Amino acid sequence: MTTPLLETHNLVKDYAIGGETVHAVNNVSLSISRGEFVAIMGASGSGKSTFMNMIGCLDIPTSGTLLLDGIDTKSLDSDALAEIRNRKIGFVFQQFNLLARTSALDNVAVPLIYAGIGYAERRARAQDKLEAMGLANRLQNTPAKLSGGQQQRVAIARALVTDPLMLLADEPTGALDTQTSLDIMGIFQKLNDDGITVVLVTHEPDIAEYAARRIVFRDGQVIEDAAVKSRRRASVA
């Protein structure tokens, strides 16, 4: 039996808007095991982004329990949550979120600064992750000198540099063309094959088919949670 990496029990997130309470996430209970590749789907306003923010320790639930690697996050202060984000979760975003005037190498090394890693080791680990992404000849390039696909590879290298337990990817192919999107999904599948847990947030059904499990949100609740029946495989370019 696989060990759950992430567990939520009756998770709720409410917002007060115009004198009314909106249940952005409403009583969600689920678990994600180590080594899974999960796609989280739903229309705008379905609750998927709010759920993502909570499992990424970027937002705090109104009520319920969220366990990450066995740790009950509601008992943690902001510093402890920041440490969990840095050490246990790697984030990949649609718009890459790279520092514009900074080299690929230094962009990837940024999380290691917050982890207290020394200069030489930061650069060595950043170079290793970039080389694994096929960017050995792009270490000193700034984002402006990289294609969209290369920028996303830098972002993935940055997410991996702390050796996290989980990659949390928010619409990672949303700003990419079709072929580049397939290349990125190939990278995620390879990482998952190597044992990394991947949670992918997407509104694209075809992208979700590269995951092994699909969770669909509507009106703050899970309406579907099932294995992907005809899973697609992508090659790594």
| Lowest-confidence segment of 22-31, 143-152, 173-182, 228-237 by average pLDDT | 228-237
DSSP string over 134-181: T-GGGTT--GGGS-HHHHHHHHHHHHHTT--SEEEEESTTTTS-HHHH
**Strand 197-201 relative to strand 166-170: parallel, antiparallel, unpaired?**
parallel
At residue 91, the 3 state secondary structure works out as: strand
C-alpha closest to that of 201 among 85, 41, 46 = 41
Assess whether pLDDT exceeds 80 at residue 2: no
* Whether the predicted pLDDT of 237 surpasses 90: no
Show the CA angle centred on residue 170, arms to residues 165 and 171, nearest 5°.
135
Is 70 exceeded by the pLDDT of residue 233? yes
Rg over alpha carbons for the chain, rounded to the nearest Å, is 18
| Confidence bin at 132 (pLDDT 50/70/90) | very high
Predicted pLDDT of residue 235: 80
Helix spans in the chain (H): 48-55, 78-88, 104-114, 119-132, 148-160, 178-193, 205-208
CA–CA separation, 64 vs 25, rounded Å?
11
Query: Which tens digit of pLDDT belongs to each residue from 158-178?
Result: 999 999 999 999 999 999 999
| Res 236: pLDDT | 72
- pLDDT: is 227 or 74 the higher one? 227
Q: Are 214 and 224 in contact (CB under 8 A)?
A: yes
* Paired sense of beta strands 37-41 and 197-201, if any: parallel
What is the set of domains in the chain, with CATH numbers? 34-62+76-227 (3.40.50.300)
Q: Looking at residue 74, what is its pLDDT?
A: 87
DSSP reduced 3-state for 82: helix
pLDDT digits (tens, 9 = 90+) for 46-87: 999 999 999 999 999 999 999 999 999 988 999 999 999 999
Q: Beta strand 166-170 with 89-93: parallel, antiparallel or unpaired? A: parallel
Q: How confident is the model at residue 222 (pLDDT cuts 50, 70, 90)?
A: very high
